[in-house]
Every structure is written in C-alpha cells, then in structure tokens.
Structure 1
Amino acid sequence: MPLANTISVLVVDDQLTMRALIRNALQQIGFKDIREAPDGEEALKQLL
C-alpha cells in the first residue's frame, strides 16, 4: 500500500488559494485524507 494512502494531512494557511494549490498537489501524488484550516487555532480544533 502506498504511503500516501495511509497518511492524513492537515494543510494550514491563511490564504484559500494557497490551501487549494497545496491540496491539489497532494491529491496529484496520491494523498486522499486531506483537511484544511485557515489558522493555527482552527487546526488545533480539528486535531482535538
């Protein structure tokens, strides 16, 4: 099983466009479980 299928990724950036670019790049290399947050506070909420 490829490593990208077993890893969860949380993309944190205040710019929506940047998050979308990173998400697309990760999807292209096989990542499936990708979450997004606009800031550190929201990222921590998603992790807890």
Structure 2
Amino acid sequence: MWCKGRVFRRTRQGANFIVVIVGLILIFKKQLTSLVNKAFSNINDKAGTL
C-alpha cells in the first residue's frame, strides 16, 4: 500500500501530459497536416524511382 500515492500522482501527471499534447495538436493541426502530406508526397515521388 505504500506506493498508492505515487501511482495516483503519476496518473495525474500522465493525464496532464496527454491534455497538453492534445492541445498542441489542436493548435498546430494545420501545420502538422501540411507536414505529413508533404512527407507522404515525397515518399510517393521517390518510390517510383526505385
């Protein structure tokens, strides 16, 4: 039972981390979408040259 407090603290920190990550994704959604699309278009263009 000694680790019960630590587990809840870690869970709360993990939840806060996830909230921050989701917030950043929502803020930078347009830039992330553009980056991913550009990366996949480069992969598709170079795949034909192999």
* Structure with the higher strand share, 1 or 2: 1
TM-score w.r.t. structure 2 length?
0.32
Point out the structure with max Rg over C-alpha: 2
- Give the number of the structure with larger relative contact order, counting CA–CA contacts within 8 Å between residues 6 or more apart: 1
> More helix per residue: 1 or 2?
2
